[in-house]
Amino acid sequence: MKTRKVLLATACALLGCAQKAPQKPLPAVRVEVVTSGTGASGKVMYSAVAQPTTTTPLAFRGPGYVVQIMTVPTPGGGVRALGEGDRVRRGEVVARLRDAEYRDKVEQATGQLAAARAAAEKARLEFERTTRLFATQSVTKPEMETATAQAKATQAQVGAAEAVLEEARVGLHDTALTAPVDGEVIKKSVELGAYMAPGMPAFVVGDVSKIKVVLGLPDVAVTQVKLGQPVSVRTEALPGRTLTARVSRIAAAADPITRNFDVEVELPNADRQWKPGMIASVELASVAPDAAIPLLPLTAFVPAGGERDRFGVMVIEGDAAQTRAKLRQVTLGDVIGNRVAVARGLTAGERVITQGAAMVKDGERVEVMPAEEP
C-alpha cells in the first residue's frame, strides 16, 4: 500500500513537470490612427454649454424667516411652490419674510420722529421768543446763541429721525422679494420656514428668451474669429435642428487656467426649446487647415505620472509579434465634438489604443484587433 502511494505521487509529479504552464494571452486592443480635427469641409467642431443670456440672483435685503413662497398651478388643478424651471414676471412677489419685527421698527421710528418734531417745534418757538427779546435787549447775547443752537440741533434730530423711519419702511417693504425681470427660475435655495441671511440668494432667475453658448478657443484660433461671424450650432437634445447664429462676444484676455479665450454665440430661443446646460456643437471655419490637430475619444486616455491632472495615451510601437504599447504623457486641449484635442505629445499618423488602454501596462505586448466595420 505504501509503495502504491509512492508510485502515484511520483507519477503525479512527473506529469505535472511534463505539463507547461498555460501562456497568458496577449491583451486584445483596438487602435486608431491619430487624425486632424479639421475635416474635408474646412470646418472645426467645438463643444459648448448653453447658458441664459443673463442671470439675476434674488436675495432679501435683511434677515428673517420665510413665511410665504409664490405658488404656481399644477396640471391637476392644484398649486405648488415656485420651483426651478418655472417662469416669473417682472414685479411678481416670489417670497416673503416674517415682517412683525420690521413693523415694530417702523412704529418705533415713527414715535422717535414724532418726539423729535415736538422738540424741534418747542425749540423753534423758544428761538422766536428769544429773538424778540434780544431785539429789545431783554436777553443777553449768549442766551440768544443758545436758543439758536438749540433750534438747529432739534432740526438735525428731526432729519435723523426721518432717515431712520425711511430705513425702517424700506426694510419692511423689502420683506417681499420681487422679481426685477421676466425669466425662469434657474436655481432655488429657499423653503418655507427657512432662515435667510442678508444677501443670501433665494432664487436665481435667468433670461432664456435668448441663449448663449460659450466655447474656449486657443490663441492660434481666436485671432481668426470676428464679431458677427456666422456659425452653425446644434445639439443632440434637439435632433434635426441646426441654427445659424453669429459671434456676439470675444474675450479680451485668456482664462488663466485653460489659457483659452471665451467666444460667445447668442441664439434666439423664443420657443424655450433650448435649456441651460444643454451641450451644443458649434461649427467654425477652420483657421489652420494645414495644421494637424490630434483628436482622440475619451477611452484613449489613461492616468499618467501618478497625478490626477496628468494624462497619457498608449502608443503602438513595432509590428507583428513585436507590437508593444508604450505610455506617453500628453497635454489635453479643447473638447471638439465627442473627442478631445491633444495639444502636445502626439503627431498625426501615430497609432493609439482607443479600446482597452486601461488594461494594458507600459511596454506590454498587445494584439491589435482589426478595425470595426463602419
Calpha distance 65→57 (Å, rounded): 18
Beta bridge partners of residue 133, listed in sequence order: none
Whether the CB-CB separation of 113 and 158 falls below 8 Å is answered with yes
Q: What is the pLDDT of residues 228-275, one digit of tens each?
A: 988 889 888 888 888 888 999 999 998 887 788 889 999 988 888 888
| Predicted pLDDT of residue 286 | 53
| Predicted pLDDT of residue 19 | 52
Q: What is the mean pLDDT of the chain?
A: 84
What's the pLDDT band for 288 if we cut at 50, 70, 90? very low
Residues of the chain with CATH 2.40.30.170: 43-52+205-285
What does DSSP say about strands 324-336 and 201-217: parallel, antiparallel, or unpaired?
Answer: unpaired
| Predicted pLDDT of residue 23 | 64
Does 110 score more than 70 pLDDT?
A: yes
**Section 317-333 average pLDDT:** 85
Calpha distance 279→266 (Å, rounded): 14
**What is the percentage of the chain residues whose pLDDT exceeds 90?**
45
| Predicted pLDDT of residue 235 | 87
∠315-317-320 over CA atoms, to 5°? 130
**Section 356-369 average pLDDT:** 88
Residues of the chain with CATH 2.40.420.20: 28-39+292-368
| Predicted pLDDT of residue 290 | 42
Q: Model-level pTM greater than 0.95?
A: no
| Predicted pLDDT of residue 283 | 84
| Predicted pLDDT of residue 287 | 47
Does 296 score more than 60 pLDDT?
A: yes
Calpha distance 201→307 (Å, rounded): 36
Q: Does domain 100-173 have CATH number 3.30.450.20?
A: no
Residues of the chain with CATH 1.10.287.470: 100-173
| Predicted pLDDT of residue 346 | 84
Does 45 score more than 80 pLDDT?
A: no
Which carries the bigger pLDDT value, residue 86 or residue 341? 86
Does 309 score more than 80 pLDDT?
A: no
Does 12 score more than 60 pLDDT?
A: no
Closest CA relative to residue 260, chosen from 51, 46, 50, 41: 46
CATH topology for 43-52+205-285? Elongation Factor Tu (Ef-tu); domain 3 (2.40.30)
**Section 277-288 average pLDDT:** 74
* Least trusted range by pLDDT, from 26-35, 125-134, 181-190: 26-35
What's the pLDDT band for 5 if we cut at 50, 70, 90? very low
Q: Using CA atoms of 344, 306, 319, 322 in order, give the dihedral in degrees to the nearest 10.
A: 150
Sequence-distant (6+) residues with CB within 8 A of 106 are 165, 168, 169, 172
Place of cell 494624462: 311
Beta bridge partners of residue 43, listed in sequence order: 285
Complete edge-to-edge strand list for the sheet that includes strand 176-178: 176-178, 93-97, 64-69, 195-196
317: exposed, middle or buried (Cβ count in 10 Å: 0-12, 13-18, 19+): middle
Does 373 score more than 80 pLDDT?
A: no
Q: Does domain 28-39+292-368 have CATH number 1.10.1370.30?
A: no
- Ranked by mean pLDDT, which of 30-34, 152-156, 287-291, 317-321 comes out on top? 152-156
**Section 38-45 average pLDDT:** 55
- Ranked by mean pLDDT, which of 32-36, 146-150, 215-219, 350-354 comes out on top? 146-150
| Predicted pLDDT of residue 285 | 66
